[in-house]
């Protein structure tokens, strides 16, 4: 597609119903010429001096408000019993966001791919049973409507951060969207991806720093704490730190969570499994229930009566 055709396509998008917004919001990107301005200036997700921060209320859980939010649960939903066991343990420490993968983005096509729509049913049942809020990943634009009919928050995974048709599709639902940073994406690319969701009509956008690829191999990825501080400073969006996919290990969960919150994160995402060695995905990074308890205590979440 030529550059001109791409801009015409963008005009069509912006003029379409539900895409209300100034074209300048997009066109300003990369064209900032005033000295001292950031390439993100002009984006609607960015914060202007007179503006406050977005607080997203999902069934009473306020993401971006003063108290940190916890998003916890297994990497993959493996059965209803497994999800219920983990969710019951988690819910002892607060009314949290329950995570669990139904459609899994696996590196190997031979690895467990998730239970799909059956897992969505388990997620909804368990979340409603325990009065939790649910989040799960959607990978395919054709599955957005299905996933949105079960989950309270839609997650865009790291591998799909720059899947623009998918970003537009989640933007037209009325569900909050959590946009993970691509593991090789710059902050600018990440923020522009959020702008795609916003231009499609998405109002409730959460950013998630989940670690980027660096030369370091002691951790699976490198949690970019400076990115947390920067997007908190420059955008109005709440930011969650995923301490599981960034570290790829469990032994530094507590200091990573503390570092993320100290840098301004509005909460943490963490994978929890009742028997991590037997997990069908990411078994090295999922906390067991005792480790989750220790994390909650370290973050001052007292067990509920």
- List of residues contacting ligand PEP (CB under 6 A): 75, 101, 105, 137, 157-159, 180, 210, 242, 245
Task: Tell me the C-alpha distance between 15 and 21, whole Å.
Answer: 8
Q: Which does 255 bind (CB under 5 to 8 A by kind): ligand PEP, Mn ion, none?
A: none
Q: How far is the CB of 247 from Mn ion (least distance, A)?
A: 12
Four-residue CA torsion sign, 123, 132, 138, 21: positive
**110 versus 304: smaller Cβ distance to ligand PEP:** 110
Q: Which stretch binds Mn ion (CB under 5 A): 51-59, 189-197, 261-269, 274-282?
A: 274-282
- How does 252-278 read in b/e, with b if 16+ C-beta sit within 10 Å? ebbebbebbbebebbbbbbbbbbebee
Residue 169 touching Mn ion (CB under 5 A): no
For residue 7, the tally of other CB atoms under 10 A from its CB is 14
- Which entry of Mn ion, ligand PEP, none binds 204, CB below 5 to 8 A by partner kind? none
Q: Which is nearer to ligand PEP, 105 or 303 (CB)?
A: 105
Q: Which does 152 bind (CB under 5 to 8 A by kind): Mn ion, ligand PEP, none?
A: none
Please say which residue, 47 or 271, places its beta carbon nearer to ligand PEP. 271
3-state secondary structure (DSSP) of residue 76? strand
Tokens representing 235? 């955008």
If one asks whether residue 282 binds Mn ion (CB under 5 A), the answer comes out as yes
Cβ closest to ligand PEP, residue 38 vs residue 222: 222
Report which residue's Cβ sits closest to Mn ion. Answer: 75
Min dist. Cβ of residue 114 to ligand PEP (A): 9
Give the nearer residue to ligand PEP in terms of CB position, either 101 or 176. 101
Quick check: 143 and 120 in contact, CB under 8 A? no
Contact yes or no for 74/286 (Cβ under 8 A): yes
Is the Cβ of residue 46 or residue 138 nearer to ligand PEP in the bound state? Answer: 138
CA distances (Å), origin 219, targets 20, 77, 152, 226: 42, 24, 31, 17
Task: Report how many residues bind Mn ion under the rule CB under 5 A.
Answer: 2
Distance CA 208, CA 232 (A): 11
Question: Choosing among Mn ion, ligand PEP, none, which partner's interface includes residue 209 (Cβ < 5 to 8 Å by kind)?
Answer: none
Tokens of 59: 């069934």
Q: How far is the CB of 196 from ligand PEP (least distance, A)?
A: 17
Give residue number: closest CB to ligand PEP. Answer: 157
Give least dist CB 165 to ligand PEP, A.
18
Find the shortest distance in angstroms from Cβ 48 to ligand PEP.
Answer: 30
Q: Say how many CA atoms lie within 13 Å of 89 toward its Cβ.
A: 23
Identify any residues that bridge with 268 across adjacent strands, giving them in sequence order: 70, 241
**Tokens read off for 67:** 């108290």
Give dist(CA 65, CA 267) in Å, integer.
10
The residues that touch Mn ion, with contacts defined as CB under 5 A, are 75, 282
């Amino acid at each position: 597609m030529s550059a001109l055709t791409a801009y015409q396509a963008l005009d069509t998008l912006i003029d379409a119903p539900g895409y209300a917004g100034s074209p300048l919001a997009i066109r300003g990107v990369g064209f900032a010429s005033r000295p001292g301005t950031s390439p993100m200036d002009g984006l609607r997700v960015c914060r202007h001096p007179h503006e406050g921060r977005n607080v997203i209320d999902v069934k009473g859980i306020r993401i971006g408000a003063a108290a940190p939010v916890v998003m916890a649960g297994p990497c993959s939903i493996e059965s209803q019993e497994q999800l219920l066991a983990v969710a019951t343990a988690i819910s002892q420490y607060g009314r949290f966001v329950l995570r669990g993968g139904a459609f899994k983005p696996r590196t190997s096509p031979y690895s467990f791919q998730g239970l799909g729509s059956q897992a969505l049913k388990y997620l909804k049942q368990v979340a409603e049973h325990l009065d939790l809020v649910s989040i799960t990943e959607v990978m395919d634009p054709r599955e957005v409507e299905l996933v949105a009919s079960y989950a309270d928050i839609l997650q865009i995974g790291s591998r799909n951060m720059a899947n623009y048709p998918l970003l537009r599709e989640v933007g037209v639902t009325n569900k909050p969207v959590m946009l993970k940073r691509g593991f090789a994406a710059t902050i600018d690319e990440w923020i522009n991806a959020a702008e795609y969701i916003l231009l499609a009509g998405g109002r409730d956008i959460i950013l998630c720093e989940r670690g980027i690829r660096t030369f370091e191999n002691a951790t699976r990825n490198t949690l970019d704490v400076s990115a947390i501080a920067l997007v908190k400073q420059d955008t109005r969006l709440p930011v969650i730190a995923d301490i599981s996919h960034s570290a790829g290990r469990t032994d530094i969960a507590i200091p990573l969570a503390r570092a993320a919150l100290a840098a301004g994160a509005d909460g943490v995402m963490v994978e929890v499994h009742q028997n991590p060695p037997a997990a069908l995905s990411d078994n090295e990074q999922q906390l067991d229930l005792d480790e989750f308890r220790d994390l909650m205590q370290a973050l001052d979440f007292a067990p509920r009566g």
